[in-house]
Structure 1
Amino acid sequence: MIECPWCSSQVVLDNQVCPECKHEVLPEHLDTSITSQDSDQLEYEVDKNDLSLEDRIANQFKCSKCGHDECDINEVAMNGTGLSKIFDIEYHHFLYVSCMQCGFVEIYNPNILNGKR
């Protein structure tokens, strides 16, 4: 019997699948000998993924005009044509990223950056 890394139940695996939670349990999931350097790397990756979209942009920003790395991020919402214009429904959202040194502006579509189409 092993302890399932997903549900923490003591189980006997059935074709590398936990019978309790139905998750696949591979040998690397059972390896508990993670070194401190590996665990630091894992914590960094988790923290990096927990950042908001604005924080991720700010951390990676480098002005394409002057090379400065500080920016200001604002959101703008706009309506489209047709009914959204008549009813003033603002469903187009964009992030404007302004360089703090030269004022150059880059525009990002947050839906695409978040993996939505």
Structure 2
Amino acid sequence: MSKKQYQCEKCGCLDYTADQIQATGGDFSKIFNVQNKKFTTISCKQCGFTELYRNETSSGMNILDFLIGG
């Protein structure tokens, strides 16, 4: 899988790292610690500026996350 071209909006650097984070959504998710929001992060290696992009989550993965205590 090849990296897509990215240019930092702040400093113009072309080097970046990509990662993923998960977060809880509404009240129900917070009570049961279900992390049903997933995001891809793109961070500039030079200045650290980071952008978040929302990923789709499946119901099956949300249920599995709830059952195993995610």
1:11-50 to 2 correspondences below 5 Å: none
Q: Residues 71-109 of structure 1: CA distance to partner in whole angstroms, max 9, x if unpaired?
A: 111111011122111111001001111100111111111
Q: Give the Cα separation in 2 of the matches to 1:81 and 1:103.
A: 29
TM-score by length of 1: 0.44
Q: Runs ≥4 in structure 1, deviation > 6 angstroms?
A: none
Identity %: 34
Q: Where do 5+ consecutive residues of structure 2 fail to align?
A: 57-70
Structure 2 counterpart SS, 1:60: coil
Partner of 1:71: 16
Q: Give the Cα separation in 2 of the matches to 1:64 and 1:86.
A: 37
Partner of 2:53: 108
- The one-letter code matched in structure 1 to 2:14 is D
**Would you tell me which structure has more strand in proportion to its own residues?**
2
Partner of 1:85: 30
Which protein shows a greater Rg? 1
The root-mean-square deviation of aligned C-alpha atoms, in Å, is 1.4
- The one-letter code matched in structure 1 to 2:46 is Q
Q: Kindly tell me the number of residue pairs found equivalent between the two proteins.
A: 56
**Would you tell me which structure has more helix in proportion to its own residues?**
1
TM-score by length of 2: 0.69
